[in-house]
Each structure stands twice: as structure tokens, then as C-alpha cells.
Amino acid sequence: MVIMTSPPTFQPLLNRIAAEIENTPGRGRPADYIPALAACDPRRFGMAVAELDGTVYGVGDWRHPFSAQSITKAFTLALDLAREGDTLWEHVGREPSGNPFNSLVQLEYENGIPRNPFINAGALVVTDRLQTHTGDAAGTLLDFLRAESGNADLAINKDIAASEAAHGNRNAALGHFMASYGNIDNPVPVLLDQYFRQCSVEASCADLALATGFLARHGVRADGTRLLTQSQAKHINAIMLTCGTYDAAGDFAYRVGLPGKSGVGGGIIAVVPGRCTLCVWSPGLDERGNSVAGVAALDRFTTLSGLSVF
């Protein structure tokens, strides 16, 4: 095994990882509870690494747009935290849940306060807060992703949003339940529309690796302006490490050793603070909703490069 502690370019490393992934059996299954995602080929694979200056390396389907799904929760969290600061934490916690991402169980005995911003209940709260502050949470998110990625063509897939809405009864239940505790400001149907549109943004590995760069630059955007304080960026990275891959976050930290956020579209973003950001995509999921090939690729990346927060 060759340890690359300071690679002059990430391209050879990505090529090696892609070759290994290609020969790996058992790639999981696409999310079948969202019909618009169920037809994705689980053997597709793309991976991109973006350096702090915007240089991007990629392999496989790294330019192919896919449904970002819960990856967007990291960005809405940043956008709301930038606007209201620590007041946000009065409405959502920062602890791992240990339960499925769409669970209703904890909300009742925790008085409608979700355990963290990355389970569905917590993400609904964050979207609700951003909607209150902006009047268009999904539009604010899309504008941010376009600016940070440099891709003005990023868009919301209306078919996927409609599919999510048609199968969104549990998210509706979460929203109404939290509203009964006074933890939702906006009408639940408005909130759900914003949330489903947010999750239906389509972007490529290159787009999302670039858009995540502010977390590696300690809160500084691509244009040099500051979105978050250094402490706020640290806080988001910490929550991504402990809560970003549903109830598999402990295993992800053990194997990969980076802050990360996954989505059931098969994508995962990851952050090496002060060095680079990554995005990997492969639609086949494990039983906890994380990309099988994506986790394996990130595991190989940190092993071969020596880049980790540990």
C-alpha cells in the first residue's frame, strides 16, 4: 500500500479508487420508496475532489447530475446558522439520534425538539427557520449552490419533488407533530413544499464538491466573503461527523474519519478542513440509506491519502 500524505494531484488516487470500486461486488439497491429514484443503476459511480482554490479532479460519472436529497441539509443548516446564529439551537439539538432518519419516536418525549438537524424532523425545522428568514428557503439554497459551484444551470427536478410530495406522509406527520409543540412557524403545507423542492436539487459530484468548499475554508465562500465564523464552520463539521450519515455515523467516522453528509440519492459530501472537499455518487444504498460504493470510496481515499481529521 502506498501512503500519499501530500499528493501533488488527486487524479491518480481517484483513478485507483475507481478501478477498485469497479471490481467490488455488492453495490446495494437504489432508494425504492421514492419512485423517481428507484430506476437508477446501482453500478454508476462518480467521485470528485475540490481543492481550496477551486481546482477540481474527478473520475467516472463525476459530471453527471443526480438527486442531492439529504446532502442539501448541510447547506440549509449553514444558510440558517449564518442568519440567526445560536438561536437556531433552541429549536433543534446537536446529538446523534440512534434511530432511522424519518423516525417519529423521539419527538414526543423530547417535546417536539428534533435530536439533530440532519434527521428529517430536524431538517424540517431548519428549512422552516430559513423560510421564515428568507421567504423562499429552496430558492435561497439553489442560489447559494449555483454561486458556490459556478454552475448557473443547477435546478430543482420537479418530477422528483412531485414524487416526494406524493409519498411524503411521514414528513407531513413530523411537520404537524412539531407544529403542535410550537416548533414550526410556517404553515405545514408551505414547509413541506419547500422541503421537497430542497431535496430535489440535482447536481453533480463536481458541483457539490465545489459548493462544500466553504466548510474546508473555515466559513469563507468561493468569492472570498465570509458566510460563517470559524467556530460556526467547525460546529457544522462536527455535526456532520457525528450525525451526517443517519444512524451509521459511528461506523462512517470509524471507516472514513471525515465530516460527511449523505443522501438517499446515493451521494455523499465530505470535508478535509483546510485541505479539500469531496463528493462521491453511486445510487446503490445499504440498509441505513448510505451509498455502499460511496462509503467504500471515501474509506479508500482517507486510507491511501492519509487525509483525515484524526
Q: Residue 192 and residue 298: Cα distance in Å, rounded?
A: 32
Q: What pLDDT score does 102 carry?
A: 64
Residue with cell 442568519: 83
Mean pLDDT of 191-210: 98
Q: Of all residues in the chain, what percent carry a pLDDT higher than 70?
A: 95
CB 201 within 8 A of CB 153: no
Q: What pLDDT score does 47 carry?
A: 98
Give the pLDDT confidence of 216-247 residue by residue, as tens digits.
999 999 999 999 999 999 999 999 999 999 88
Mean pLDDT (the chain, rounded) = 94
The sign one gets for the Cα dihedral 145, 212, 38, 283 is positive
In the sheet where 260-262 sits, what is the strand order? 56-60, 46-51, 276-281, 267-272, 260-262
Across the chain, the runs of DSSP E, i.e. the strands, are 46-51, 56-60, 66-67, 155-156, 201-203, 260-262, 267-272, 276-281
Q: Which residues fall within 8 angstroms of residue 166, CB to CB, at 6 or more apart?
A: none
The lowest-confidence range among 13-27, 103-117, 250-264, 280-294 is 103-117
For the chain, give me the number of helices (H) and strands (E)?
14, 8
Question: Is 6's pLDDT higher than 60?
Answer: no
Give the pLDDT confidence of 91-135 residue by residue, as tens digits.
999 999 766 666 777 788 889 999 999 999 999 999 999 999 999
Amino acid at 295: V
CB 56 within 8 A of CB 209: yes
Half-sphere exposure of 303 (CA within 13 A, CB side): 12
Q: What pLDDT score does 100 carry?
A: 64
Specify the pTM: 0.95
Q: What pLDDT score does 3 carry?
A: 40
